[in-house]
Amino acid sequence: MMKPQRITVRYEGRVQGIGFRYTAVRLAQAHNLTGWVKNEPDGSVSLVAEGDEPRLMELLQAIHRSHLGKHITNEQVNRASATGEFNGFSVQH
């Protein structure tokens, strides 16, 4: 069994007001990942997801393949070990 991983992603571009958070929740839930997504005051979107490495990579690809991809101008991904603190995947306010 693979050790769960965590990715923390910052998306920049026109990523607010386009359904980014709700699309990310749907995609993350479809990949059985846990974590959260939220809008940041500077106009970016932050996402934290935990799960198997392949599923995390599939989530990143799915976000880019969705209608969101064309609005992303920059993506910063940081990796760490999962903490297991999340029960599901949700929008954080």
Other CB atoms within 10 A of residue 77 CB: 13
How many alpha carbons fall within 13 Å on the CB side of residue 51?
21
Token pair recorded at residue 39: 């809008």
SS3 47: strand
Token pair recorded at residue 41: 């005051």
CB 41 within 8 A of CB 18: no
Catalytic positions: 21, 39
